[in-house]
Amino acid sequence: MKTHSRLMMFSLTACLAYTLAYYFDWSLFRYYLTSGTIDVAAPATAGPPILWYGWLATAVLAGVTAAIVVPRGFVVRLSPELAWLVPAAALLAALMYEVRWFL
Amino acid sequence: MMTALLILHGLFAVALLGAVTHQALAASVPRNERRARSFFSRFRTTDASAYGTPVVVLFVAVMIMGAVLYPRFRLVVRPLLQDLDLRAANGAFELKEHFSALGVLLLPAYWACWKQPLERSYDGARLWLTWIVALTVWWNFIVGQLLVSIRGLAL
C-alpha cells in the first residue's frame, strides 16, 4: 500500500509537470541535433535543439520529488478517480495544444 | 542500424498493441460472461491482470527505441514533412510525442492498479487507465505506420 500510494503520486505529479513543461518550456536540458551535445543553456551556434527529452526529465524529477516528499496520509485521502482523471486531462490538454496543426 | 531499430520498434509495438487491447477488452467485460463460448467472448475474457507487467515492459522498451530513433526523425523525416507541407502529419507526430511521454509517466499508477491483490476501490481507475494506455498505444502505432508510409524505412 505504501509503494502503491507513492507510485500514484509519481504519476499524477509527473503527468501534470510534463503538461506544464511543454506549455511553459521548462526543459531541464536541451539536446542539440547537429552537434550531438546536451546543454542547459542555449548556445547561439548550436543549431536546433530537441526539448522533448528535457521535458520528460523535468516531469520525472517533479514526480520523484512529489513521491518522496508528499506525506502518505495525504495521498491516501485523494480520490482513486484522480489516478485516471489527471492523465486524461493531460491528454486532452495535449490535443488542444496541438490542434493548430490540423486547422 | 537505424532501419533495423525502426523495424524492431514496430515489432515490439505490435506486441504491445495486442497485449493492451486484450487487457482493455477483458477488463471491460462483466464477470458473468466468462463462460461464453463465442470467439469474441473468449477474446474478451482473457485474464486481464496477467497483462499488467508485460504491458509496462513492452511500453518502456518501445519508448526507449523511439527515443533513440527520434533525432533521426528530426533530421530526416521532419524536414520532408515540412517541404511537402504535410502539417497534419507533423501535428500527428507532435501528439505521438506527448502521448508517449504521458503514457510512460502514467505507467507507475497503471502498474499499481493492476498489482495483485487487486484493490476494489481502484476498479474504475484500473479500467480507465487501461483504456488511456490503449488509446495512446493505438494512436502512436497508427501515426508511426503513416510516417513510415510517407518516408519509407530508410532512416
Give the pLDDT confidence of B84-119 residue by residue, as tens digits. 999 999 999 999 999 999 999 999 999 999 988 888
More confident residue, B43 or A98: A98
Cβ-defined contacts of B137-142 (< 8 Å, 24+): B137/B13, B137/B16, B137/B17, B137/B20, B137/B59, B137/B103, B138/B17, B138/B21, B139/B95, B139/B96, B139/B99, B140/B13, B140/B96, B140/B99, B140/B100, B140/B103, B141/B13, B141/B14, B141/B17
Question: Which of B65, B29, B74 has its CA nearest to residue B47?
Answer: B29
Smallest Cβ–Cβ distance between A91 and the set B91, B92, B132 belongs to: B132
Q: Kindly report the CA angle at B44 between B41 and B45, in degrees rounded to 5?
A: 85
Smallest Cβ–Cβ distance between B101 and the set A18, A50, A102 belongs to: A18
Contacting residues of B for A81, CB less than 8 Å apart: 124-125
Please report the ipTM that was assigned to this predicted complex. 0.92
- Chunk chain A into consecutive blocks of 10 residues (it has 103) and report each block's average pLDDT, rounded to whole numbers: 83 97 93 84 75 96 96 86 95 95 90
Q: Which residue of A has its CA nearest to B121?
A: A80
Contacting residues of B for A101, CB less than 8 Å apart: 87-88, 90-92, 94
Mean pLDDT across B9-36: 85
Q: How many domains does chain A have?
A: 1
The domains of chain B are located at: 2-151
Fold topology of B2-151? Four Helix Bundle (Hemerythrin (Met), subunit A) (1.20.120)
Tell me the residue range of the domain where A79 lies.
Answer: 2-102
Whether A8 sits inside 8 A of B135 (CB atoms) is no
pTM of the full structure: 0.91
